[in-house]
């Protein structure tokens, strides 16, 4: 049956409305594409994936160590800058870069003397750190997750580019019990943010503490120190540490100490204070007990850089965050831009379970058991004001 004249006259308008509705839908980005990033001495190839959104935010990730090698964020004038310390080549990372935004595991941070007990079974792993003359196992051992090549699956999440990385640590790897299957999903948010989701399963009880050790400077990579950055932490307590930066077991209030960032304070304001804990770390290298302790995704920290206007928020489901102010950083060669990396030239906010939690009954448990997957989410979100 032929259309009436009135319907025929209205068709062009209807088609225009449909076209406008379609064009107003959010664009769905394609999965990232692999690019070569060198190879290991044994011939294993390493790939780079660039995650970008329509707003210009970008994060480049390599399969070696799951390292985020670059992160571009805008200032208040809309100018993009790389706010992440890192190296331009795989060879430089293999040479031992001290400022890699790598995935850390099986247990991030420290375990006192490399010893712990699970269900009456004792384990002893050779320490790989001796800060303050006190031995500790740090960041998973000599060959932690930051030094392996992860299997990559480019994908999307909520219509934005994403990268799924997988690695299986064998039972006994680096001395840890249990075959641990780990999956990490990096994804870009629609505005300016990088989401990191962790999933792990084990076949035996095992310690677990997964994080990303990103070194940030909101002025830009290699642009001097971060002492003028303003920091707020949603943490009214912290865990004091001994000279080896291993927690003493105490959970102490930050009030009245250089660790009180419950209101905005400059990072450098009290970084040289005559305080035992500051002396132990030569600056900040301490675990903060977040106010949110129920495992939900919550705001943990806000960092603002006044000159550029860049603001970074850290949201996490973890109970703690390690503030590290690159106290030992001293690399005249620098990184991607060739500018020197100096002491206090970056800050880290590592979402985590507490250091040495496997030996501290008062801390939240860091033991993963079969049948109960480990799940954790952290978001680094950027804005400019």
Q: Which residues are catalytic?
A: 213, 350
Both tokens of 108, joined, read 């991030």
- Prior bond to 106 cis, omega within 30? yes
- What is the distance in angstroms between the CA of the first residue and the CA of the last residue of the chain? 61
d(CA 258, CA 191): 34
Question: Within a 13 Å sphere around the CA of 60, how many CA atoms are in the beta-carbon half?
Answer: 20
CA angle 179, 182, 184 (to 5 degrees): 175
Q: Following DSSP, what letter does each residue of 195-253 receive, concatenated? A: EEEEEEEESS-EE-B-EE---B-TT-TTSS--TT-EEEES-SEEE-B-TTS-B-S--EE
- Are the beta carbons of 181 and 201 closer than 8 angstroms? yes
d(CA 162, CA 179): 26
């Amino acid at each position: 049956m032929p259309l009436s004249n009135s319907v025929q006259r209205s068709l062009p308008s209807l088609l225009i409305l449909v076209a406008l509705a379609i064009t107003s839908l959010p664009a769905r980005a394609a999965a990232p594409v692999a690019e070569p990033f060198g190879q290991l001495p044994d011939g294993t190839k390493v790939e780079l994936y660039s995650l970008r959104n329509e707003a210009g935010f970008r994060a480049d990730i390599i399969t070696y160590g799951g390292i985020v090698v670059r992160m571009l964020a805008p200032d208040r004038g809309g100018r993009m800058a790389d706010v992440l310390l890192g190296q331009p080549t795989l060879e430089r990372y293999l040479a031992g870069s001290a400022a890699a935004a790598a995935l850390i595991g099986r247990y991030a941070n420290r375990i006192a003397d490399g010893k712990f007990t699970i269900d009456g079974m004792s384990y002893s792993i050779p320490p790989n750190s001796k800060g303050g003359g006190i031995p500790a196992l740090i960041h998973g051992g000599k060959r932690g997750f930051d030094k392996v090549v992860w299997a990559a699956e480019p994908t999307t999440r909520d219509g934005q580019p994403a990268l799924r990385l997988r690695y299986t640590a064998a039972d006994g790897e680096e001395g840890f019990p249990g075959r641990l299957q780990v999956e990490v999903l990096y994804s870009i948010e629609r505005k300016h943010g990088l989401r990191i989701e962790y999933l792990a399963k084990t076949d035996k009880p095992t310690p677990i503490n997964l994080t990303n050790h990103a070194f940030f400077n909101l002025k830009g990579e290699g642009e001097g120190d971060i002492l003028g950055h303003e920091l707020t932490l949603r943490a009214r307590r912290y865990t004091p540490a001994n000279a080896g930066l291993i927690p003493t077991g105490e959970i102490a209030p930050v009030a009245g100490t250089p660790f009180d960032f419950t209101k905005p304070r400059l990072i450098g304001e009290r970084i040289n204070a005559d305080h035992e804990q500051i002396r132990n770390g030569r600056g900040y290298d301490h675990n903060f007990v977040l106010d949110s302790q129920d495992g939900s995704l919550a705001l943990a920290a806000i960092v603002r850089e006044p000159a550029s206007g860049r603001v970074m928020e850290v949201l996490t489901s973890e109970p703690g965050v390690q503030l590290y102010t690159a106290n030992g950083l001293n690399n005249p060669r620098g990184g991607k831009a060739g500018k020197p990396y100096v002491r206090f030239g970056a800050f880290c906010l590592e979402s985590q379970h507490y250091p040495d939690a496997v030996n501290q009954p008062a801390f939240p448990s860091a033991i993963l058991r079969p049948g109960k997957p480990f799940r954790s989410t952290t978001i680094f979100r950027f804005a400019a004001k």
